[in-house]
Chains A and B, each alone.
Chain A
Amino acid sequence: MAFGRRGRRGGRGLVKLGKKTDVEHPIDYKDIEHLKKFLTPQGQIQARRRSGFCAQTHRKLKTAVKRARHVGLLPFVG
Chain B
Amino acid sequence: MYDAVPQPLELELRDGPVTNRDATSSPDLTDIKETTLAQIYEGMFLLDNAVVREDWNTAKSIVTSTLEKHGGTIHTARRWDERRLSYPIKGKNRATFLLAYYEIPAENIPAMRRDFELNVSVLRSLELLVDAIPKGETELHSSETAEDFIVPTPPDDDHIEFVEEPERYYREDRRDSRDDRGDRGDRGGSDRGAPEGAKDDKGKEDKGKEAKAKEEPAKEEPASKGTDDAPAAATDDKTAEEAVKASEES
Contact = CB atoms under 8 A, between A and B. Distances in A.
B87 A72 contact: yes
Interface in B94-127: 95, 97, 99, 124, 126
Nearest to A77: B87
Nearest to A32: B83
B86 A73 contact: yes
Contacts of B46: 71-72
Given A67-B126, A70-B124, A76 B87 contact: yes
A13 B86 CA distance: 33
For the complex, would chain B's binding face be called helix, strand, loop or mixed by DSSP majority? strand
B89 A72 contact: yes
A75 interface: yes
How extensive is the interface on chain A, given as a class? Answer: 10 to 19
B85 interface: yes
Interface string A58-70: 0000000001011
A75 B87 contact: yes
A75 B83 CA distance: 13
Nearest to B84: A72
Contacts of B128: 67
B126 A72 contact: no
A19 B99 CA distance: 29
B229 to A, nearest CB: 75
8 contacts: A30-B44, A30-B99, A71-B124, A72-B86, A72-B124, A73-B83, A73-B85, A74-B86
Enumerate the 9 nearest inter-chain pairs by beta-carbon distance, A residue then B residue, closest first.
A72-B85, A75-B86, A71-B126, A72-B86, A72-B89, A71-B44, A74-B86, A70-B126, A75-B87
